[in-house]
């Protein structure tokens, strides 16, 4: 069964902070935007935030890209958000839904959105958070609400009912897009589509796995057996067969 990914309504954003990867994926017609975060930046060895952002912006050619504030107090977040927003018209500023003390950032989101800053409210997990964010967003300003469906699933909860409810909450904010964040597998792309999420973020490795979407399972089975055989041979593994066992088998 072949699956034509181009028929899906959901947009795939590449999630990562490796500048070389961003440059490579920028030309992939499947990728419609990009997201980053400080954890990914640290993992990728980013040393200079502004230099990294400048290179990424040059690579994505106007596609939306999100950069996150680094501060933990709201006034510093505001200053950083205004600076980041100035990096480009396609920039969305990631604002965590709370600070590390658990204090809501909704007040800051309201100020930034009203001022025309395109925010990507991140680390959202609950319907209460989505409701509060939705009410804070200016109807005329583009925004993204990133709900961490993958991490919700890690707790043993099915994220699909929650994501459907999130989409309904955001119905009154037509310029606000619902993002299925932290997917764990290719299946999540189709689940996100079913929930009418607007965007899903996927890592480089997850994007590479999209080539298996709809793959024939008999063929997949044979390829898996082939992999096991090839790797065992390459490793030089051997099983010493005892004489008695060989005799028993012959009888």
List active site positions: 94
Q: Are 149 and 180 in contact (CB under 8 A)?
A: yes
Q: What span, in angstroms and rounded, lies between the C-alpha atoms of 163 and 149? A: 8
Q: What span, in angstroms and rounded, lies between the C-alpha atoms of 37 and 15? A: 9
Widest pairwise Cα distance in the chain: 85
Q: Are 130 and 90 in contact (CB under 8 A)?
A: no
Q: Which of 50, 104, 117 is nearest to 74 (CA)?
A: 104
Q: Are 198 and 179 in contact (CB under 8 A)?
A: yes
- Torsional class of 117: left (φ above 0), alpha (ψ -120 to 50), beta (otherwise): beta
Tokens of 170: 């955001």
Q: What span, in angstroms and rounded, lies between the C-alpha atoms of 207 and 186? A: 8
Give the single-character DSSP code of 103. -
């Amino acid at each position: 069964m072949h699956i034509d990914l181009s028929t899906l309504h959901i947009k795939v954003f590449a999630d990562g902070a490796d500048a070389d990867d961003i440059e490579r994926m920028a030309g992939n017609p499947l990728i419609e935007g990009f997201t980053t975060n400080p954890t990914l930046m640290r993992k990728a060895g980013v040393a200079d935030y502004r230099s990294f952002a400048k290179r990424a912006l040059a690579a994505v050619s106007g596609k939306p890209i999100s950069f996150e504030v680094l501060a933990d107090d709201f006034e510093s977040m505001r200053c950083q958000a205004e600076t980041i927003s100035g990096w480009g018209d396609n920039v969305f500023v990631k604002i965590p839904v709370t600070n590390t003390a658990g204090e809501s950032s909704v007040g800051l989101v309201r100020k930034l959105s009203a001022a025309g800053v395109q925010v990507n409210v991140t680390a959202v997990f609950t319907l209460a958070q989505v409701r509060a964010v939705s009410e804070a967003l200016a109807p005329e300003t583009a925004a993204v609400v990133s709900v961490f469906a993958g991490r919700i699933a890690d707790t043993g909860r099915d994220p699909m009912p929650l994501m459907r409810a999130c989409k309904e909450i955001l119905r009154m904010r037509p310029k606000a897009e619902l993002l299925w964040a932290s997917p764990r597998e290719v299946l999540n792309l189709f689940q996100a589509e079913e929930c009418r999420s607007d965007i899903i973020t996927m890592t480089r490795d997850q994007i590479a796995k999209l080539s298996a979407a709809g793959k024939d399972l008999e063929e997949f089975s044979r390829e898996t057996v082939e992999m096991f055989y090839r790797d065992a041979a390459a490793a030089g593994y051997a099983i010493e067969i005892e004489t008695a066992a060989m005799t028993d088998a012959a009888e």
